[in-house]
Amino acid sequence: MLFVYCPYLFNNKVIKKMDVLSEHGQLAYYLVEWGIPIAVWLAIICLALAFLFLIIYTIRDFIVNPVGTFKRLLGFIIFLVAIFVIYTMAGGEIPSTVQAAANKFNVTTWIMKCINTGLITAFFFTLFAFGAWILLELINLVR
């Protein structure tokens, strides 16, 4: 509901200056100016918490179960290698359909490469999760 009501708090003159988003109105302006930075900060906070809990539980498990610690670290290293490989394969070109908006908001090829990496990574890990789910259900069915 916040995304729906907050654009009316902005001055209409400021929103009218946004020629790239003028056809979409105040909601599009609010989503670009506030929604994207909020999403970026939430992603940074979640990533920081993930690393914090990784460190805490690695130390705890190293004391309790050293074999489980090496499995977790191996899984994390495989995850980082997969992201690096996908990053090197992702394209950084800006499509012509969004070129005007990219120029307006200083979207560089590096940002587009990061976006493509995130989308490709999410797609492949979702496919992997569903495949593992189906495989493990079949294994449990045979047992």
Q: What is the pLDDT of residue 8?
A: 40
pLDDT by residue (tens digit) across 67-113? 878 888 888 899 899 999 999 998 888 888 888 888 887 888 888 88
pLDDT reported for residue 121: 93
Structure tokens given for 99: 């070129």
pTM over 0.85: no
Nearest alpha-carbon partner for 91 in 108, 109, 79: 109
Output the DSSP codes for 64-78: H-HHHHHHHHHHHHH
What is the average pLDDT across 24-39?
Answer: 75
For residue 9, give both structure tokens.
């708090």
Domain count, the chain: 1
More confident residue, 103 or 20: 103
What pLDDT, on the 0 to 100 scale, is given for residue 22?
55
Q: How far, in Å, are 33, 72, 127 from residue 59 at the CA level?
A: 40, 11, 31
Q: pLDDT > 70: what percent of the chain? A: 83
Query: Is 5 or 87 the better-scoring residue by pLDDT?
Result: 87
Q: Domain containing 12: what range? A: 2-142
Confidence at residue 15, expressed as pLDDT on a 0 to 100 scale: 43
Average pLDDT over residues 31-37: 77
Alpha helices for the chain (secondary structure H): 2-5, 12-16, 26-30, 36-64, 66-89, 99-104, 109-142
What is the model's pLDDT at position 31? Answer: 72
User: What's the pLDDT score for residue 70?
Assistant: 83
